[in-house]
């Protein structure tokens, strides 16, 4: 229940329904991953397909998503904008990249029967080209940026605060576009095989997210009146809370993307050096 507010039974029912649906979805994903991982590791060469660190990354990412969506943080996110921002950070910067690093598509395919696996694999082959377009560098950069900025437009953000259905759709948009971004970076042809391109769009994403964070941090006007009313009712200064939310977006996003960009840049230089060495060996 939001601090200082009274909720109608219909709203409480909506919140409970969405919380139950979220718990069921997360539980189903975890169960399918565990079953698939168990079967895969029992097969020949399965432990080379999915390493221990990849499985651990998925489980940590899943736990981060559960904390973001089902813990008291979710209830506080309706009151404090800073808690709301922390929730989004967990989904986009922790849950999405770690779950993607765990190669969930491959693992969860092993969680279904062999006949179902064949049907899914056949369908996946038919959408291979659209998938490549969807996870191209320009596409993932644009999708992630548009979703992030559009959902921070006051009218849309306010609608998410007033409706649990819209709020769930907002979270889904943040997570899915972040997952596509990280998939392209980690597994896509512009990730491991195209370090230079990856560096460019990581820097581009870091720039636009930091601009949004800076606007919130240095802003002197309230962006979201509904949040401000709830924050004030909870005894917290609304403008200070909004500015702290901006810092949460600005610094974590900046630090994470800077570290990734530097790592990719180092890998890019290393790859270029290896190619020079190989070329010299072939010529020599």
SS3 205: helix
Residue 44 is encoded by which pair of tokens? 């020949």
225, 196 Cβ separation under 8 angstroms: no
Q: Which residues of the chain have pLDDT under 70?
A: 1-14, 188-196, 267-268, 270-284
pLDDT of residue 188: 67
Pick from 66, 61, 80: nearest CA to 238: 80
H or E segment at 95? none
pLDDT of residue 232: 94
Could you give the angle at which helices 9-42 and 52-70 cross, rounded to 10 degrees? 170
Phi first, then psi: give them for residue 213, nearest 5 degrees.
-65, -40
SS3 131: helix
pLDDT of residue 281: 60
Helix%, strand%, coil% for the chain, nearest 5: 80, 0, 20
pLDDT of residue 86: 92
- Residue 265 CA, chain-centre distance (Å), reads 22
216, 246 Cβ separation under 8 angstroms: yes
pLDDT of residue 175: 95
- Alpha-carbon distance of 192 to 185, in angstroms, equals 7
Residue 247 is encoded by which pair of tokens? 């810092």
248, 17 Cβ separation under 8 angstroms: no
pTM score over 0.75: yes
- Alpha-carbon distance of 280 to 231, in angstroms, equals 64
pLDDT of residue 6: 44
């Amino acid at each position: 229940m939001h601090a200082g507010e009274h909720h109608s039974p219909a709203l409480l029912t909506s919140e409970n329904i969405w919380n139950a649906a979220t718990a069921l979805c997360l539980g189903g994903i975890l169960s399918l991953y565990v079953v698939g991982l168990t079967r895969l590791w029992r097969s020949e060469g399965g432990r080379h397909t999915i390493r221990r660190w990849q499985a651990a990354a998925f489980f940590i990412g899943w736990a981060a998503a559960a904390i973001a969506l089902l813990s008291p943080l979710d209830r506080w996110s309706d009151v404090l904008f800073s808690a709301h921002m922390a929730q989004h950070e967990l989904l986009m910067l922790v849950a999405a990249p770690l779950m993607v690093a765990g190669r969930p598509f491959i693992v969860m395919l092993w969680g279904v029967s062999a006949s179902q696996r064949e049907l899914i694999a056949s369908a996946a082959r038919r959408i291979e080209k659209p998938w490549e377009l969807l996870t191209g560098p320009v596409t993932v950069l644009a999708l992630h940026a548009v979703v992030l900025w559009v959902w921070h437009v006051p009218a849309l953000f306010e609608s998410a605060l007033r409706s649990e259905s819209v709020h769930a759709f907002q979270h889904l948009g943040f997570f899915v576009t972040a997952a596509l971004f990280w998939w392209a970076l980690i597994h896509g042809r512009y990730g491991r095989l195209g370090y230079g391109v990856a560096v460019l769009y990581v820097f581009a994403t870091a720039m636009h997210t930091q601009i949004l964070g800076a606007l919130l941090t240095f802003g002197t006007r309230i962006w979201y009146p509904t949040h401000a009313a709830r924050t004030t009712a909870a005894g917290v200064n609304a403008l200070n809370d909004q500015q702290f939310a901006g810092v949460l977006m600005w610094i974590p996003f900046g630090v994470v993307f800077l570290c990734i960009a530097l790592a990719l840049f180092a890998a890019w230089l290393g790859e270029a050096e290896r190619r020079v060495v190989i070329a010299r060996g072939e010529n020599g």
